[in-house]
Amino acid sequence: MSLFDLTGRTALVTGSTMGIGYALARGLAQAGAKVLLNGRNPQRLEEAVTALKAEGHQAEALGFDVTDHASARAAIDRYEAETGPIDILINNAGMQHRGPLEEFEPEAFDRLMRTNVYSAFYVGQACARHMIGRGQGRIVNIASVQSALARPGIAPYTASKGAITNLTKGMATDWAKHGLNCNAIAPGYFKTPLNAALVADPEFSAWLEKRTPAGRWGEVEELVGACVFLCAPASSFVNGHTLFVDGGITASL
């Protein structure tokens, strides 16, 4: 369907060497987009690009440090000047650090905020400068159910994902008039490397399955449809919205 066709578009996905980021990059490629993968580990980055190319997709590496404003802007400006436009940005780079809030190290808090929040601002701004000039562009920030909920031991992460939801609203408020659509996806509990310790914990998994109306963990491929929708013509009048993909966990007590 043309409403969900991304042929001819180029999508940059940060933190896309594994987990949710890789699944979203693969899904966008399946919808016709050329994907630019980004990550901190050069070997994993090359392996991810190779894997997508082996499936017949258009994929390239665009390596830079998303937590460094100058690095992000330089890499994106260079790509735009030498290769072509970046039509879609998926701000997926993120990290988790668990611990009691009263003992949480300031350095860990700063690192988490830089990875989860600053990166979305840095890369979002760098891409938006070019998108504004063209009068169109899609930005999808990856939020979380922790944008709306909290649980013990992850207060700083919760703060970072709340910031992402409101940054998304701010992006839409400032940039919609320039033709940009800025939205967010808030995943629930998915089987990812970030959640590996929780997936392996029988007690936590039992609690989650009971707490979630769908009764199970999510699979990363189940986020692809929401991402393609927010990047495609089908969502042309959707702006500033956070789409929860969580098996109903935020809908129930």
| Predicted pLDDT at 92 | 98
- CA 192 → CA 175, 184, 199, 235, distances in Å? 32, 19, 8, 27
CA distance 176 to 17: 30
| Predicted pLDDT at 1 | 79
- CA 161 → CA 88, 164, 205, 218, distances in Å? 21, 5, 22, 19
CA distance 211 to 220: 19
| Predicted pLDDT at 90 | 99
| Predicted pLDDT at 194 | 81
Question: 124, 165, 123: which is closest to 144 by C-alpha?
Answer: 165
CA distance 155 to 98: 8
- Whether the pLDDT of residue 153 is over 90: the answer is yes
Among 22, 79, 122, 157, the active-site one is 157
- Whether the pLDDT of residue 193 is over 90: the answer is no
The average pLDDT across 112-117 equals 98
- Clarify whether 22 is annotated catalytic: no
* Domains of the chain (ranges, CATH numbers): 2-244 (3.40.50.720)
Question: 187, 176, 188, 181: which is closest to 215 by C-alpha?
Answer: 188
Share of the chain above pLDDT 70, in %: 100
Contact 211, 189 (CB under 8 A): no
Query: What is the pLDDT of the chain when averaged over all its residues?
Result: 97
Orientation angle between helical segments 42-54 and 19-30, nearest 10 degrees: 30
Query: For the stretch 159-188, what's the b/e string if a residue is b when 16 or more beta carbons lie within 10 angstroms of its beta carbon?
Result: bbbbbbbebbbebbeebeeeebbbbbbbbb
